[in-house]
Structure 1
C-alpha cells in the first residue's frame, strides 16, 4: 500500500489522542473538519506536509493516490485500511510471500484467484516454500 494512505490511516488512528475538552460531541463521534482547532488540523496534516516537502519527485504520485482514495467507496476504503494494518504487522518474509502471491494472481479473474487461493491453502509449508522459490516476488520498486 502506498505511504499516503498509510499516513492518512495513521493520522486517523492517532485521532483519539487529541482531547476535545470544549467539545460536547457524543463519544466516538468526531467533529467535522471545520470544527477542529487549527492545532488539531495541523497535527493531522503535518506528516503529509513533511512528506510532500521532502519528496518533490513523488508529488504527482501522491496527488494521484489521494484522488483515487477519495473516489473509492467507503467500504473499499475500509478494506484498504484493514489491509494496510495487516501489512504493517507482517514480517519481511510474510510480505515477500504476499508480494509473490499478488504477482501470481494479478492477471487472474475472480474465479481463478479463488481457485488459486484454495489450492494455496491446501499446500504444506514445504510446498509453499518450494512454490515461492520457483515463483519469487518481483524486486521491490524504488520510490
Structure 2
C-alpha cells in the first residue's frame, strides 16, 4: 500500500512574511585585519574591534610582547630591559663627571670665538691632540 501524499502547507494571510530589508541582523566579522590584533571589517561596512579577531590573531601574545618591550628596570646608573637586553642611561642618575664651564675658559685660552673655545676644550679634555693643541701647551 502506498502512503497518502503529505498535506500542503497553508499560509494564513494574517501571518507577516519578512523581506530581507526588514531583517535586522547583527553585523558579523567579514575580515580580520592583519597587524595589531583586533580590528575587523564587519558585514555592515564598519571597521571596529572584534574580540574574536583579537583571540584568533594572538592578541594575548601581542600584549605580552608590548609589556616586555617597555619593562625597563633602572639601578641608578643604567636602565635595562630583561626581555630584550636593551639599555639606556638612567635619567635619575647624577653624573659625577659634570664640569661647570665658565668665563674663565675663554680668558685662559685667549680665545675670542666659539670655535676657538671648542678647540681649546677639546685639547684640554684630551679629545684631540696634535699641532693644533700645541698652541695651548697640550
Could you say which TM-score interval applies, normalised by the shorter chain? Answer: under 0.3
When normalised by structure 2's length, the TM-score is 0.22
When normalised by structure 1's length, the TM-score is 0.21
The structure that has the greater radius of gyration is 2
Give the structure, 1 or 2, with the largest relative contact order (CA under 8 Å, sep 6 or more). 1
Which structure is higher in strand share? 2
